[in-house]
């Protein structure tokens, strides 16, 4: 029997950066059969077909911009007879792989964000395979949606369609979300009127204890927060990686009150 199947283990920053969709498209274009999947060591690929040498070349030269290949291991195997090329579910082997850092908004998402006809018009949590949160939403590896803080947000039909379409920019984009199904921004005003918490509504927030008397505002929370800061209030802004406490640094009273609350002398 001939060694016509190849198993490829790719290590480095190869999860959450559009690597599997890239491998999928590359294999399709070269008529190769097999699979690609995330494992806790990196990405595992198996290919069968005539154009495997072009595959190896393009794997390195055309890899997605955010990926960083550090090591490629190729193991020759006996022919198996794959009928198509698939993206398979992850295998968790409890080892270690590298997760990309959070990536700032890409040009495509920026364009959608400001497009009145786009379903994500002004949606602050817009992202795709080329941008968005990674490290801060990862709870465990491999990097798949159930292992991220996004697991509590069930994708709507529109988002799901993007997620499963290999030709879409959001194919397997784990933090994929929209105003219908994803997190949103809200402002929580404490009853005693001295602390304000604009926040996304993720699980952590639902777990935190806010008094029932606290007021929750859903309309224009960002503009209202700016107003509150200008009025000298203290605001805790909950982002993807924790809280950022803010006040007007030029407002002496606000700064003093914050120092008092934080028990800092200067």
Q: Does 17 bind Zn ion (CB under 5 A)?
A: no
Q: Does 66 bind Zn ion (CB under 5 A)?
A: no
- Cα separation, 56 vs 69, in Å, equals 12
Give the residue among 100, 101, 135 at the shortest CA–CA distance from 19. 100
The stretch among 82-90, 146-154, 181-189, 226-234 that binds Zn ion (CB under 5 A) is 181-189
Find the shortest distance in angstroms from Cβ 65 to Zn ion.
Answer: 12
Residues in the chain: 266
Give the residue among 85, 124, 95 at the shortest CA–CA distance from 5. 85
Total residues interacting with Zn ion, rule: CB under 5 A? 10
Q: Binding string, 161-180, against Zn ion, x = CB under 5 A?
A: -----------------x-x
User: Which of 156, 205, 236, 237 touches Zn ion (CB under 5 A)?
Assistant: 156
Angle between helices 19-29 and 52-61 (to 10 degrees): 150
CB-based contacts of 240, cutoff 8 Å, min separation 6: 102, 133, 136, 137, 149
Find the shortest distance in angstroms from Cβ 155 to Zn ion.
Answer: 6
> Which of positions 125-154 make contact with Zn ion (CB under 5 A)?
128, 130-131
Find the shortest distance in angstroms from Cβ 119 to Zn ion.
Answer: 8
What are the beta bridge partners of residue 45?
A: 8, 36
> Which of positions 212-231 make contact with Zn ion (CB under 5 A)?
none
What are the beta bridge partners of residue 77?
A: 5
Instruction: Select 109 or 254, whichever has its Cβ closest to Zn ion.
Output: 109
90: left (phi over 0), alpha (psi -120 to 50) or beta: beta
User: Which of 10, 37, 63, 159 touches Zn ion (CB under 5 A)?
Assistant: 159
Find the shortest distance in angstroms from Cβ 224 to Zn ion.
Answer: 25
Question: Which residues of the chain form contacts with Zn ion (CB under 5 A)?
Answer: 106, 109, 128, 130-131, 156, 159, 178, 180-181
């Amino acid at each position: 029997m001939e060694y016509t199947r190849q198993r490829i283990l790719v290590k480095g920053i190869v999860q959450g950066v559009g690597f599997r969709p890239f491998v999928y498209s590359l294999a399709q274009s070269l008529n190769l059969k097999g699979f690609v999947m995330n494992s806790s060591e990196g990405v595992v690929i198996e290919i069968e077909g005539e154009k495997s040498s072009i595959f190896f070349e393009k794997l390195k030269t055309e890899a997605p911009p955010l990926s960083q290949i550090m090591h490629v291991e190729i193991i020759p195997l006996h022919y198996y007879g794959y009928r198509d090329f698939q993206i398979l579910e992850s295998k968790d082997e409890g080892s270690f792989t590298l997760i990309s850092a959070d990536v700032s908004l890409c040009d495509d998402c920026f364009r959608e964000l400001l497009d009145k006809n786009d379903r994500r018009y002004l949606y602050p949590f817009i992202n795709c395979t080329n941008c968005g949160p990674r490290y801060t939403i990862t709870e465990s590896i491999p990097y798949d949606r159930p292992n991220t803080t996004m697991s509590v947000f069930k994708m709507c039909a529109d988002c799901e369609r993007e997620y499963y379409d290999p030709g879409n920019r959001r194919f397997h984009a784990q933090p994929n979300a929209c105003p219908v199904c994803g997190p949103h921004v809200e402002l929580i005003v404490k009853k005693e009127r001295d602390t304000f918490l604009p926040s996304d509504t993720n699980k952590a927030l639902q777990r935190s204890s806010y008094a029932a008397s606290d007021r929750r505002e859903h309309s224009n929370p960002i503009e209202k927060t700016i107003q509150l800061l200008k009025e000298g209030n203290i605001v805790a802004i909950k982002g993807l990686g924790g809280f950022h406490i803010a006040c007007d640094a030029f407002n002496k009273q606000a700064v003093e009150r914050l120092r008092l609350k934080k028990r800092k002398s200067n």
